Amino acid sequence: MDPARPLGPAEIEALAQLVVSTVLLGGIYALIAVGLTLIFGVMRVVNFAHGEFLMLGMYLAFWAFTLGGLDPYLVLPVSLALFFALGLVTYALVMRGVIAASHNVQIFTTVGLSVALQNVALVAWTGDFRYIRPWHSAVVLRLGTTAFNLSQVVAFALAVVLTLALFAFLRWTHTGRVMRATAQDRDAATLMGIDTDRVYRLTWAIGIAAVGAAGVLVAPLYSVYPTAGLQFVLLAYVVVVLGGLGDMVGALLGSLIVAGVEVVGSYVVGTAWKEVLYFLLFIAVLVFRPAGLFGQRGAETLGA
Amino acid sequence: MRHRALAPLVLCVAALVAALAVTGVSSQAQPLAGEYKIGVLEPLTGPLAFEGKRHLEGYEIMRDMINERGGVMGKRLVFAVGDATDPTAAASEANRLITREGVRIITGTYSSTLCGAASEAAARHNVIYWETSCVDPRFTRRGLRTVFRTEIDGTGFGWYNIEFIAKHLAPRFGVKPSQLRIAFLSEDSSYGQGVTEAARQRARQEFGMQEVAAEYYAFATTNDFTPIVVKLKQLNPDVIHHIARGNDAVLFWRQAREQNFLFKALVHAGATGYGSPDFGKALGAEGNGPFALLEPGPGFRIEALRPEGQKLEREFRAAVQRRTGSYPLGGHQLAAAGLWILKLVLDRAGTDELEKFRSAALALDLPVGSLINGWGVKFAENGQNANERVQHYMLQWQDGQLVTVWPEEFTTLRAKWIPLGPWDQRK
């Protein structure tokens, strides 16, 4: 497009569609990133297995639909409970022992968990690409000249709800305040009588529940396979850094920015460049605003 | 308990029947003196495991057929299997097969990401690398005397795709090839780039087609094709040449439909993306229309092959049916056809000694239609089977099934929806 030329109807049409795509894609990224930013922000653990929990959520939706004919939206409430429980179990078995260890140990642990989960899925369910086709995944809504996919719209709406719910939870509940306190200074929180082990357990479980639910919601849109999580998780890290660690609303805005860079970059410069563009953005944020675009200054060093 | 008492009896009968079957077979064929072991390298774990296992299954079916037909060099063919999860594992498994198992020939390997590393390792031991499926053009361009490839290379895929577009699609659209507007879209692996660049070159130089776009993307991290679809829609191409890897085919097709992007045809090559059964599973009849260049599928006229090819193809199909209960799939066809050619070369050479093996391989000259898949053989000095001998076929998705539609002399079925109509009228 020649920027000097006035926009014709075709350009306006394209632009409108790009905006819609950015918002919907951003919704999916936000859905995946909120759980990660919660765990990252409160526990200061980079959960490299995050994508694998997403993959498990996708498989849950797949099997529920294939074996029981259950729509992913019916599975959603069950998945929250199920993944919360899975979070408690993985915390007790894996994370608890390394929570006070160095970052290196934590990285190796979560990478190990990631590889283990991928391979368990591969052994149990093979490397096949699998798909579900609930009725809403094929429904196309049209508004003016733009087109939306219904499953994507629902995913976006629920991403906003989930983000706001977690934001409100952290901001206004007692447990939320305790979590924030622990994030800011683990030792001081312990001295104040906060059971930090309980806080971490809860944080981990909520984070896993959020990403499990995200998996269920994206299952109608993407294929399900053992390494499906890798498709999204790298982006989720970019989003978390952009939005500021532990900042829910920042994660939502960060997701929209990453999606915008991706969509506009693919359209204007070329698809091959989209990763270059958002990683440049990522590096720029790390250099100039290490606390994230929306984070509190200095937050990145808290609790380290 | 009557049933329990019967169990040993049933087992005895079963064992007897099995023994009879075995003697029945061996009395037909000549007795095989000893064993000849080759290495088989496929990704059996990791993300490529599913395809890798299918290739291994194809090898095993053909191994059993070979052993029923005199083995190789009068010996019983046996496998030492290695798991090539990724390029590093491919190289180390190749080393293991050579040093521990003592093989002099290795065959494999599903993916273009694996064959390079594994064949380098084999070449360092002067061991023959007999490739049956990877198509990276670089494989046979490294000056290695130890590598052979029975399958077409990526440039061959591009050649065939443009052949189909120029000689079959253009006349049916009622235009000259030079009037066609073509958009190239591809995932950015060595495979995608190899095929796409070969196709671009032939489209431009030989037919003067109008290239309106050439876009590459990373298939593993592309979660939304809408920007590409919107962009291509404005460029208004007649044909999309799209090399896809997996989920990207489904996503592109679905989002093109959402955006009501109307093009006249979409052409792909290879067993991934539009060439994978997963595409039909994901979309059913909504996936009607795209073409994929592959080995022959349903509709294939076996009668169009030469008599010796027909016999081989029929026996192979029966063996696959017995083992898997279905039609042979791409992985079976590539591995089996390649292994049969290896047998022909070994029988003629009488040895796996490199120079004698090479001269036997280079001397082999079989026309199209002589072998499984309607293939022929003529190896070049660099070890590549001539692209025009490795007959390939255009398949099209029709109601959830990939069927053979071109070249028309090889099939009973015909291409539909040319040009592709509105999205809701492709039934």
Lowest mean pLDDT across A271-275, B26-30, B214-218: B26-30
Q: Are A18 and B50 within 8 A, CB to CB?
A: no
Same domain, B194 and B279: yes
Residues B176 and B277 in one domain: yes
Nearest chain A residue to B231 by CA distance is: A267
Could you identify the residue written with the tokens 């981990």?
A204
Could you report the predicted ipTM of this complex, rounded to two decimals?
Answer: 0.86
DSSP characters over B219-235: GGG----HHHHHHHHHH
Is the residue at B3 inside a domain?
no
Task: Enumerate the domain spans of chain A.
Answer: 21-301
Name the phi and psi angles at B365, rounded to 5: -145, 95
pLDDT digits (tens, 9 = 90+) for B65-93: 999 999 999 999 999 999 999 999 999 99
B285 and B406 within one domain: yes
pLDDT tens by residue, B265-306:
999 998 889 998 889 988 888 899 999 999 999 999 999 999
pLDDT (average), residues A245-274? 88
Q: Which residues of B touch A138 (CB under 8 A)?
A: 286
Cβ contacts of A128 within 8 Å, gap of 6 or more: A225, B50, B278
What confidence score (pLDDT) does residue B26 get? Answer: 40
Question: Looking at the structure, do residues B269 and B417 belong to the same domain, yes or no?
Answer: yes
**In Å, how far are A64, A242, B197 from A53, measured between CA atoms?**
16, 22, 38
**Chain B residue numbers touching A230 (CB-CB < 8 A):** 220
How far apart (Å, rounded) are the C-alpha atoms in residues B9 and B21?
Answer: 18
Residue A93, number of CB atoms within 10 A of its CB: 10
Decide if A239 touches B, using CB distance below 8 A.
no
Q: Which residue has tokens 């989960």?
A: A117
pTM, two decimal places: 0.84
Q: What CATH number was assigned to the domain covering residues A21-301?
A: 1.10.3470
Residue B205 burial (CB < 10 Å; 0-12/13-18/19+)? exposed
Give exposure, B118-128, as e/b (b: 16+ Cβ within 10 Å). bbbbbbebebb
**Tens digits of per-residue pLDDT, A99-142?**
888 888 999 999 999 999 998 998 898 777 888 888 888 888 88
Nearest CB to A131 within list B45, B51, B281: B281
State the pLDDT at residue B31.
Answer: 67
Q: b/e map of B279-292 (b: 16 or more CB within 10 Å)?
A: bbbbbeebbbbbbb
B123-147 mean pLDDT: 94
Q: Is the dihedral of CA B392, B396, B401, B403 positive or negative?
A: negative
Q: What is the pLDDT of residues B236-260, one digit of tens each?
A: 999 999 999 888 999 999 999 999 9
Q: Is A105 within 8 Å of A98 (Cβ atoms)?
A: yes
- pLDDT above 50 for B192: yes
The verdict on A131 touching B (C-beta cutoff 8 Å) is yes
CB contacts under 8 A, A 134-163 vs B, are 138, 140, 147-149
For the CA atoms of B188, B192, B197, B198, what is the dihedral angle to 10 degrees?
170
Query: What is the sign, positive or negative, of the torsion defined by CA atoms of B266, B271, B276, B277?
Result: positive
Confidence of residue B102 (pLDDT cuts 50, 70, 90): very high
Output the domain CATH number for residue B109.
3.40.50.2300
Q: Is the pLDDT of residue B2 over 70?
A: no
Are B227 and A18 inside 8 Å of each other by CB? yes
Query: Which residues in chain B are contacts of A147 at CB distance < 8 A?
Result: 258-260
Tell the residue number behind the tokens 């390079």, with chain if given: B116
Q: Is residue B142 part of a domain?
A: no
Tell me: cis bond preceding B296? Omega within 30 of 0 counts: no
Please report the pLDDT score of residue B5 as a whole number.
46
Identify residues of B whose CB sits under 8 angstroms from chain A CBs.
45-51, 188, 215-218, 220-224, 226-228, 230-231, 234, 246-247, 250-251, 254, 257-260, 276, 278, 281-282, 284, 286
Among B25-34, B150-159, B256-265, whose mean pLDDT is lowest? B25-34
Nearest CA in chain B to A270: B215
Chain-chain contact of B47 with A21 (C-beta, under 8 angstroms): no
- Based on the domain organization, do B163 and B214 belong to the same domain? yes
**Whether B282 and A138 lie within 8 Å, measured CB to CB:** no
What tokens appear for B411 in the block? Answer: 């099939």
Kindly list the distances between the CA atom of residue B242 and the CA atoms of A163, A229, B218, in Å, as whole numbers in the listed order: 37, 25, 13
pLDDT at A300: 55
Q: Based on the fold, state whether residues B409 and B362 are members of the same structural domain.
A: no
How are beta strands B105-108 and B147-149 bridged, if at all? unpaired
CB A43 within 8 A of CB A110: no
Q: Kindly state whether residues B161 and B283 are assigned to the same domain.
A: yes
What residue in B sits closest to A19 (Cα-Cα)?
B227
Whether B421 maps to a domain, the answer reads yes
Q: How many CB atoms lie within 10 A of CB A1?
A: 13
How far are the Cα atoms of A226, B132, B297 from residue B337, in angstroms, in the given order? 31, 8, 15
- State the pLDDT at residue A298: 56
Q: Which residue has the higher pLDDT, B14 or B354?
A: B354
- Please list, in sequence order, all residues whose beta carbon lies within 8 angstroms of the beta carbon of residue A274, skipping any fewer than 6 positions away: A261, A262, A265, A266, B217, B222
- Does A270 sit within 8 Å of B49, measured CB to CB? no
Q: Average the pLDDT over B124-131 and give the result.
A: 96
Whether B261 and B201 share a structural domain:
yes
Cα(B192)–Cα(B233) distance, integer angstroms: 22
Helix (H) or strand (E) holding B42: strand B35-42
pLDDT at A296: 64
Alpha carbons A222 and A200: distance in angstroms, whole number? 31
For residue B130, which amino acid is it? W
Half-sphere exposure of B421 toward its Cβ, with a 13 Å CA cutoff? 6
Query: d(Cα B398, Cα B404) in Å, to the nearest integer?
Result: 10
The parent domain of residue B289 ranges over 155-295+392-425
Number of domains in chain B: 2
pLDDT of residue B24: 40
For B37, counting Cβ atoms within 10 Å of its Cβ (0-12 exposed, 13-18 middle, 19+ buried), the class is middle
- Tokens for A75, please give them: 């599975």
Residue type present at position B419: P
Contacts of B257 in chain A (CB under 8 A): 140
- Residues of chain A in contact with residue B221, where contact means CB-CB under 8 angstroms, are 231, 234-235, 275
Distance, CA of B318 to CA of B323 (rounded, Å): 9
Which residue of chain A is at minimal alpha-carbon distance from B226? A21
Is residue B10 one of the residues assigned to a domain? no
What phi, psi does B388 have (nearest 5°)?
-75, -15
From chain A, pick out residues whose CB is under 8 angstroms from the CB of B251.
Answer: 222
Angle, CA of B274, B159 and B148, to the nearest 5°: 90
Q: Which residue of B has its CA nearest to A125?
A: B50
Phi, psi of B369 (to 5 degrees): 95, 0
The answer on B99 and B34 residing in a single domain is yes
Same domain, B172 and B316: no
B184 and B112 in a single domain? The answer is: no
**Quick one: pLDDT band at residue A304, thresholds 50, 70, 90?**
very low
DSSP letter, residue B325: S
Rounded average pLDDT over A46-65: 95
Chains A and B form CB pairs within 8 A to the count of 111
Chain A residue whose CA is closest to B222: A231
Average pLDDT value for chain B: 90
The sign of the CA dihedral A262, A267, A268, A273 is positive
Place of tokens 């709406």: A157
In a domain, B199, yes or no: yes
CA B415 remoteness from chain centre: 21
Sequence letter at residue A138: A
φ, ψ (nearest 5 deg) of residue B12: -60, -45
| A93 has a pLDDT exceeding 90 | yes
**What pLDDT was estimated at residue B19?**
45
DSSP state of B146: T
The larger pLDDT score, comparing residue B415 to residue A297, is at B415
Residue with tokens 């953005």: A281
DSSP letter string, chain A: --TTSPP-HHHHHHHHHHHHHHHHHHHHHHHHHHHHHHHHHHH----TTHHHHHHHHHHHHHHHHHHH---HHHHHHHHHHHHHHHHHHHIIIIIGGGTTS-HHHHHHHHHHHHHHHHHHHHHHH-S--B----GGGG-EEEETTEEEEHHHHHHHHHHHHHHHHHHHHHHHSHHHHHHHHHHH-HHHHHHTT--HHHHHHHHHHHHHHHHHHHHHHHTTTS-B-TTTTHHHHHHHHHHHHHH-TT-HHHHHHHHHHHHHHHHHHHHHT-GGGHHHHHHHHHHHHHHH-TT-SSSPTTGGGTT-
Q: What percent of chain A clears pLDDT 90, i.e. is strictly above it?
A: 45
User: Are residue B310 and residue B279 in the same domain, yes or no?
Assistant: no
